[in-house]
Structures are given as structure tokens and as C-alpha cells.
Amino acid sequence: MSAEVTLENVWIRFGDFVAARAVDINIRQGEFFSFLGPSGCGKTTLLRAVSGFLSPSEGRVLIGGKDMAGIGPNKRPTALIFQNLALFPLMTVWENITFALEVRGVSAARRRKRADELLELIALPGQGEKMVDELSGGQRQRVAIARALAAEPGVLLLDEPLSALDLKLRQHMRTELRDIQQRVGITFIYITHDQGEALTMSDNVAVMREGVIEQVADGNTIYDRPATAFVASFVGENNLLRGTVSAVSRAAVTVDTGLGAIRARAADSGGKGSLAVGDDAYVFIRPESLKFDEEKKMDNNISAQIHQQEFEGSFWQVFFSIKGSERKLKLSMVNDGSAMSHQPGQRVTLGFAPELAVATPAGPLAAE
């Protein structure tokens, strides 16, 4: 019953405001797919277009290969888990769970049975008679999932389902969600602005900015090979050096920064405007890729002054000031037991491998 979801050149406008801009996405059946993006970038809006609560101003939504135009939310093989869960407060847990069956006219006895099965699945056996407000946050969460699953949807849509939970419960629910997805095998479309959540759980992640899809890829690719400056700056921590492209080779570009020429891998922009000589470019280096390199053994070297060091148990974080930039560079290294031999104020040379640095065309960055 799992279904594939395709968005073809979807535009969504509210008056003059564009909430989704030329969105093209293909989500395979049985996939765990996440939308990641800052608040207000249009994630919920896209999800509502898939579930049928709004129709795109332009473009098509296909589910299981079928065009969904003119098909209402109650006729689509989707089930949505709302940002605030939207459990029915006047029904018991089991009535909530089997609401989808009730409206199809399934007999009470069979509904009871199904409810018990689903309660088993979400690890709440025997809690069917409770009212919804007698459940804890995590339990409500699971009831919402069971209620959606009872509808036997081809696609389950989840809109930041874990945002209301505390950290510990959230981590627990992540594994549980992933588990459930693997067990029932249907397509999950998941919205979050928590990157950890998106990267650990998903087969594929779409990163959005202001209604535009910046990149669609699996978690590793998003992290290691961001396609745009926005993705690089939004996902994880990244050091940024600004400059101009001075040379382009097959796999690498050379960028002139104020700290000298730096070689880096060119971002895979998917054919759209790759870097050429003379372009403004950003070079991103992850804190964990930056090393102390007094002997200048690495291909890229920059000189910096230690500003501050922080000890975080298993990690050391070191911050450097560099010439011509307000931003501090950050280096993080595993605490291997050897004491830190540097002092604040000390001048050092840092190095990094060109394969671990990414050069993207200059563009908007994520807000700090």
C-alpha cells in the first residue's frame, strides 16, 4: 500500500507572497523523507499541499502516480500528523485511534480489536479507555501515530511531531518512529527544523529556504557535500572563508581569500551555475576538518591567532581570530588525553585537506 509521491514544478502563492517556488521532488515508496529548513520556509505549506488542504497555484502533486488535483484530503491515501497532534479531546484513546475506521462504517467489535493491535504496536497496551488528556506528552504522540496508521495510508505525513517533547523523550521517540516506519513499510514524509533528527532518521533530506528546495540528498551527502552556501551554513557547523575563484580544475577550484589561495572541492550544484574564474565564492570547512599544522604538511594553510579554548569533555573547541574577518574560526578535536599545549593569544598555522573543504557560489547564508 506504500505509495510514491511526486511534486512537479509546484508553486504556492498566498496573494503576492510565494510560499513554494518551483518545487520538484520525487519521493520513492517506502522511503523516509525529511524536509529540513528554518521556521517559515514553507515546509508545512508543502505538506498541506500533499495532504490536500490546499491546492498548488501551479504544478502537480502526484501520489502513487495519480494526479491529486481536485481530490480532497479525505479521499487521498495520506494521513497527516499535525504539529499540535490534533487528537480529539472528547473521545477516548481507542476511539481516537479507530476514528478512520469508524467513518468507514467498520463495526465496533472489529474496531476494538484493531485498536488493541495498534496499542500493542505503540507500546500502550490496555490504555484504550483513557481520555486523551489523561496521557503524557509522549503517549499522546504515539496515539497520534497510531490514529494515522489505522487509516492505512500509503503515505504518512508528520509535521514536527516531536517538537513539543523534551529532549530525552524526543531521542527515544526518534528511534521508535524509525522502528515503526520500518515495520509498517510505508512512505514517511517528515518535517523538522532539527537537523539531527533529519540526518539520523531519513533516507533522504530536502533542505528548504524561503520556499525553494536547495538540495535533496541523503544525510551524508547533505553534510559532506552541501550544494549551496545556504545548505553548508544551515546544516551542522561550518567555518566560512570568502574569496574569488582564481582557477578551476576538474575536481577542485582555487579561491583567493584574504589569507592566501585555498584549494577546495567545487560544490555539486546540480548543473546550475557552477563556479567559473572570477566568481565570488565561499569556502566552507567543518571544525573537525581543521587541524593544527605548524609544519605546513597540508595543501591549505592559514595563519591564525588563538582566541579562546573550550573544553567539552570528549572534545576541545578552539576559536581563532583571522585577518580580515569578524567571524572566528572554530576547530574541534577529540580529547585523546594529551593536554592542550596552546595558549590564548598564541599565533599558529592551521591546515586542512582540499577534499574536506567545499567551495560554493556566494549566496544567502542561514541566519546564525
Partner 1 sequence: MIAALREAVVRGGLLTRIGLALFAACFFVYLFGPLVLMGITAFNSSAFPRVSPWECFSVEWFEVLRNDQTLVEGLRNSVFIGIGVVALAVPIGLAGALMLMQINQRVRPWYYTVVISPILVPGVVLGISTLVFWDRVGIMFNASHETFFYNGFFLTIVGQATFISAYSMLVFISRLQRFDPALEEAALDLGATHVQTFRKVLLPFLKPAIASAAVLAFLASFENYNTTVFTIVSESTLTTVLASKVRYGINPSISALAVIIVVVTLLGAAVFEVVKRREQKAARESEKVARGEVPARARRKPLLLDPAMFLILAVFVAGLGTVYFAGTVGVEECKAAVKEEKQRVAQERVRKLQQQRMFQRAAPVAGEGEGEGGSAPAAPQAQREDSSGFESIFAPQNLKEQVESGPPAAGTESFQGIFAPENLESQSGAGQ
List contacts with ligand ATP (CB under 6 A): 14, 17, 19, 37, 39-45, 193
Closer CB to ligand ATP, residue 36 or residue 275? 36
From candidates 2, 44, 78, 233, binder to Mg ion by CB under 5 A:
44
Measured distance CA(357)–CA(266) in Å, rounded: 9
From candidates 3, 135, 208, 245, binder to partner 1 by CB under 8 A:
135
From candidates 11, 99, 315, 319, binder to partner 1 by CB under 8 A:
99
Look at the chain and count its residues.
368
Residue with the CB atom nearest ligand ATP in the bound state: 44
In this structure, what C-alpha cell is assigned to residue 148? 494515522
Query: How many C-beta atoms surround the C-beta of residue 73 within 10 A?
Result: 15
Residue with the CB atom nearest Mg ion in the bound state: 44
Measured distance CA(278)–CA(262) in Å, rounded: 14
The region, left, alpha or beta by phi > 0 then psi within -120 to 50, assigned to residue 15 is left
Q: Which does 185 bind (CB under 5 to 8 A by kind): Mg ion, partner 1, ligand ATP, none?
A: none
Between CA 150 and CA 190, with CA 95 as vertex, the angle to 5 degrees is 40
Taking the complex as a whole, the smallest distance from the CB of residue 137 to ligand ATP amounts, in Å, to 18
Q: Which does 39 bind (CB under 5 to 8 A by kind): partner 1, ligand ATP, Mg ion, none?
A: ligand ATP
Closer CB to ligand ATP, residue 162 or residue 262? 162
- Binders of partner 1 among residues 78 to 97 (CB under 8 A) are 78-80, 82-84, 86-88, 90
- State yes or no: residue 187 binds Mg ion (CB under 5 A): no
Helices 137-150 & 167-184, crossing angle to 10 degrees? 20
- State yes or no: residue 151 binds partner 1 (CB under 8 A): yes
Taking the complex as a whole, the smallest distance from the CB of residue 72 to partner 1 amounts, in Å, to 7
Measured distance CA(134)–CA(317) in Å, rounded: 45
Alpha-helix runs per DSSP H in the chain: 43-51, 93-97, 99-102, 108-121, 137-150, 167-184, 195-201, 219-224, 229-234
- DSSP per-residue codes, 63-89: ETTEE-TT--GGGSSEEEEBTTB---T
Closer CB to Mg ion, residue 163 or residue 269? 163
- The contact set with partner 1 (CB under 8 A) reads 51-53, 72-75, 78-80, 82-84, 86-88, 90, 99-100, 102-104, 129-131, 133-136, 147-148, 151
